[in-house]
Amino acid sequence: MIEMLIFHAHIVGALYGFTKRWQETNIKEGLLAVAVIGLVFMIGWAITGPIAKLLTPATGFSVVWFTTDTLSLLILLPIEAVVFKLFFLDKARNNT
């Protein structure tokens, strides 16, 4: 369940990045923004996955809705928030 919320947040972030870049420059920049968000997500999840496996107890978590993938996505979320802020939100403040 938590994974789906995080995935939906990524879709909303990608749509925001696409729309912002598309309106500022052109559609190619919008597609490039989506590609950057996707690459940060994929590479970050590949890095945080083994870290989450190291932090997970040997017996696993006692609840069904919190898995190792959930932990790795929650580790990744603040890192992605900083990258998103640097790429999209700080430039919006500088342009106004």
**Among candidates 69, 89, 94, 77, which has minimal Cα distance to 20?**
89
Residue 19 inside a domain? The answer is yes
Domain assignment present for residue 91? The answer is: no
Of 83, 95, 85, 84, residue with least CA distance to 23:
95
Nearest to 89 by CA among 25, 20, 2: 20
The first and second tokens of residue 65, run together, are 């809705």
Residue 94 lies in a domain: no
- Note down the domain range covering 38: 11-86
pLDDT tens-digit profile, the chain (96 residues):
789 999 999 999 999 999 999 999 999 999 999 999 999 999 999 999 999 999 988 887 888 888 899 999 999 999 999 988 988 887 655 554
In a domain, 5, yes or no: no
Alpha carbon of residue 85 to chain centroid: 11
pTM score: 0.81
Provide the domain count of the chain: 1
Does 4 reside within a domain?
no
Residue 75 lies in a domain: yes
